[in-house]
Chains A and B, each alone.
Chain A
Amino acid sequence: MSSHASLLPERTPRSAFGKLLECEAKYAWRVPIGLIFGAAVPMLVLVILGTVPGVNKPVKAFGGLTYFSIYFPILIALALAVISLISLPLHLANYREQGILRRMSTTPVPPAWMLAAQVIINLVLAAVALGILVVAGTAGFGLGAPKAPGGFTLALVLSIAAMFAIGLWVSAIARSTGWASIIGQLLFYPLLFFAGLWLPRQRMAPVLRDISDWTPLGASVRSLQSSMLGAFPSAQSLLVLAAWAVVFGVLAMRFFRWE
């Protein structure tokens, strides 16, 4: 079904978006899947890391940064993957499965508002999850500030944009919560593999690392790690992230289905 992707409808009162956001925020608070998993999964990895000896010792090769500081981008990738590939699609797929989106489609609310509200809610979730990681990392693992803060910020913003676009695409097309979780997990594990969650990128075979460079979380970890070490991220990594964001953002808008 065709659908207007307008964010600025002529007739619908603008205040309605505030109400929509308020209701979605209440819902996210009352059904805190995203909050729990988005924060808990990276925290669990953090605790496991804490048992590894020497993880918070400064390393000469990293310019005095700890091993943890180099691993930190992988935790960011993990948090983003959980929020964008699990929390975000499950919620909208549930709305679709229940017929809530169908009901919404008969109101003057544009579909883009539903997606926009979800993006904002999940951005807040991501901020909370990253905040927890930063505080815990700094307090317990000697997490240092990135040596190229500008590059780090840019890489982070593009990583979030790329992962959210993919998550929105999954939410746009998944017919049911079952499908959302199947598609989400089919993406979740490979993307995190290439992010270096199990095998750090530095130890990957050259072929794998080349593939990783073109995946969203591989490019994300690569650009975040180089920012931690003081080098501005490579143009390739940033463009790869931007491309994922644009392509999947457009696909999400184009193929959004109400039922």
Chain B
Amino acid sequence: MVGGGPVKPASRATGSELAGEADVAIEVTHLRKTYGTTVAVDDVSFSVREGEIFGILGPNGAGKTTTVECVIGLRTADAGAVRVMGLDPHVDREELHAIVGVQLQASALPARLKVGEILDLFHSFYQQAADLGELMDSLGLAEKRNDYYRVLSGGLKQRLSIALALIGNPKVAVLDEMTTGLDPQARRDTWHLIEGVRDRDVTIILVTHYMDEAERLCDRVALLDQGRIVAIDTPEGLADQAGVDKRVRFVPSKTFDDRLLTDLPGVRTMEHEGEHVIVTGSGELANVVILTLAAAGVTATDLHLDSANLEDAFVQLTGRHLHDEIGRIHR
């Protein structure tokens, strides 16, 4: 993918469709993994282009972590194939780990080592490691370098874990629940960091249950439910697929004829609420509304936009809620 903003691929109808392009970074085909009689992942296929941020979204137990653990070679799939930059995670273990940075959910670091020592250790593992000072600064770890791992807060442990995923200047980064346990400011800082990493053409798989995170960061998202892929598309595309309305709310600078907007294709409803006007519909709703109003000499002020909502899309596509996840987001 070339710079100049994320490329939005056309909306796709099925989840198993592959990108089928030359610059594919990760290719997963018909992946299946069972634990005893439980099918954790069932016929999962997707491909991730180089430089793309690919989200895997779904409720607890959907098979998100199992999928990425197969991708990085931590687990052996029962069936199906995985290729990461052309490498087989089991055959080419060493080469794979040299170019893939990971951040795992169930992992820890030695309690009695200091942050600086751990960073220094992991830094030594890679031939072309990242600049340590820069990395520490961007994750706010510099002033914690002399603290033992055991005294770090959950948020700091998480930040250190992200730092270690990026320390080897990886071509591919796999981040599992990256911002869980971070406060809102730290989450935004981390998003900013990930966007910086993306600009260096790093391919990223982001496992998350945060809708806003997926919407903000991901070029494409795979919705996973009960071990199967429900849909793969851009966050906007998923909302469109699910027929979820977008919502634009604004205060017009002067009154105008309702038909100016209700006649537009894509606009479904329009209502007045005090001085506010609320328009719902699909597609590039906000742009269309603003441009149409501007052409009629009306300015939209105090503009609020409820963009593609993956939460709604998930409910629409699976008939299920992400109950646990919602509880955690608002805790």
What is A's interface to B at a CB cutoff of 8 Å?
Answer: 1-4, 6, 9-13, 15-16, 18-20, 23, 26-27, 30-31, 95, 98-100, 102-103, 105-110, 258
* 18 further interface pairs, Cβ-Cβ under 8 Å (given A11-B94, A103-B109): A6-B94, A12-B125, A20-B121, A23-B110, A26-B117, A95-B110, A99-B107, A99-B108, A100-B107, A100-B108, A100-B110, A103-B104, A103-B108, A106-B74, A106-B102, A108-B97, A110-B94, A258-B74
Which residue of chain A has the shortest Cβ distance to B126 in the bound complex? A108
Give the CA-CA distance A10 to B98 in the complex, in Å. 10
The reply to whether A102 and B124 form a contact with Cβ atoms under 8 Å apart is no
- Among B72, B90, B113, the most chain A Cβ lie within 10 Å of the Cβ of B113
How far, in Å, is A109 (CB) from chain B's closest CB? 6
Interface string of B104-129 (1 = CB under 8 A from A): 10111111110001101110111100
* A contact residues around B125 at 8 Å (CB): 12-13, 16, 107-109
Which residue of chain A has the shortest Cβ distance to B105 in the bound complex? A99
Interface string of B14-45 (1 = CB under 8 A from A): 00000000000000000000000000000000
Specify which of A13, A19, A98, A107 is in contact with B97 (CB 8 Å cutoff). Answer: A107
Does B192 count as interface, using CB distance less than 8 angstroms? no
6 tightest A-B CB contacts, nearest first: A99-B107, A103-B107, A19-B124, A16-B124, A98-B108, A30-B112
The reply to whether B104 and A106 form a contact with Cβ atoms under 8 Å apart is yes
Does B180 count as interface, using CB distance less than 8 angstroms? no
Does B93 count as interface, using CB distance less than 8 angstroms? yes
Does B284 count as interface, using CB distance less than 8 angstroms? no
With contacts A108-B125, A108-B126 known, is A102 near B97, CB below 8 A? no
* A-B pairs with beta carbons under 8 A, tally: 84
With contacts A4-B93, A103-B104 known, is A31 near B126, CB below 8 A? no
The reply to whether B117 and A9 form a contact with Cβ atoms under 8 Å apart is no
Which residue of chain B has the shortest Cβ distance to A1 in the bound complex? B76
What is B's interface to A at a CB cutoff of 8 Å?
Answer: 72-74, 76, 90, 93-95, 97-98, 100, 102, 104, 106-113, 117-118, 120-122, 124-127, 164, 168
Which residue of chain A has the shortest Cβ distance to B167 in the bound complex? A107
The reply to whether A19 and B120 form a contact with Cβ atoms under 8 Å apart is yes
* A contact residues around B121 at 8 Å (CB): 16, 19-20, 23
Give the CA-CA distance A190 to B143 in the complex, in Å. 51
How far, in Å, is A129 (CB) from chain B's closest CB? 21
* Secondary structure class of chain B's binding surface, majority of residues: loop
Specify which of B72, B109, B124 is in contact with A106 (CB 8 Å cutoff). Answer: B72
Give the CA-CA distance A13 to B126 in the complex, in Å. 7
* B contact residues around A23 at 8 Å (CB): 110, 113, 117-118, 121
How far, in Å, is B151 (CB) from chain A's closest CB? 13
| 15 intermolecular pairs with C-beta atoms under 8 Å apart | A3-B93, A11-B127, A13-B124, A15-B124, A19-B121, A26-B112, A26-B113, A27-B112, A31-B112, A99-B107, A106-B74, A106-B97, A107-B125, A107-B168, A108-B168
* B contact residues around A27 at 8 Å (CB): 110, 112-113
Give the CA-CA distance A18 to B74 in the complex, in Å. 26
Which residue of chain B has the shortest Cβ distance to A258 in the bound complex? B74
Which residue of chain A has the shortest Cβ distance to B101 in the bound complex? A106
- Among A99, A102, A105, A107, the most chain B Cβ lie within 10 Å of the Cβ of A107
The reply to whether A99 and B104 form a contact with Cβ atoms under 8 Å apart is yes
* A contact residues around B110 at 8 Å (CB): 23, 27, 95, 98, 100
Give the CA-CA distance A15 to B74 in the complex, in Å. 25
Which residue of chain A has the shortest Cβ distance to B76 in the bound complex? A1
* A contact residues around B94 at 8 Å (CB): 4, 6, 9-12, 108, 110
The reply to whether A100 and B104 form a contact with Cβ atoms under 8 Å apart is no
Which residue of chain B has the shortest Cβ distance to A31 in the bound complex? B112
The reply to whether B74 and A105 form a contact with Cβ atoms under 8 Å apart is yes
How far, in Å, is A90 (CB) from chain B's closest CB? 14
How far, in Å, is B308 (CB) from chain A's closest CB? 33
* B contact residues around A10 at 8 Å (CB): 94
Give the CA-CA distance A29 to B27 in the complex, in Å. 45
Which residue of chain B has the shortest Cβ distance to A98 in the bound complex? B108
Specify which of B95, B100, B106, B122 is in contact with A11 (CB 8 Å cutoff). Answer: B95
How far, in Å, is B122 (CB) from chain A's closest CB? 7
* A contact residues around B102 at 8 Å (CB): 106
How far, in Å, is B272 (CB) from chain A's closest CB? 56
* B contact residues around A105 at 8 Å (CB): 74
* B contact residues around A19 at 8 Å (CB): 120-121, 124
Which residue of chain A has the shortest Cβ distance to B72 in the bound complex? A106
Give the CA-CA distance A3 to B74 in the complex, in Å. 11
The reply to whether A102 and B74 form a contact with Cβ atoms under 8 Å apart is yes
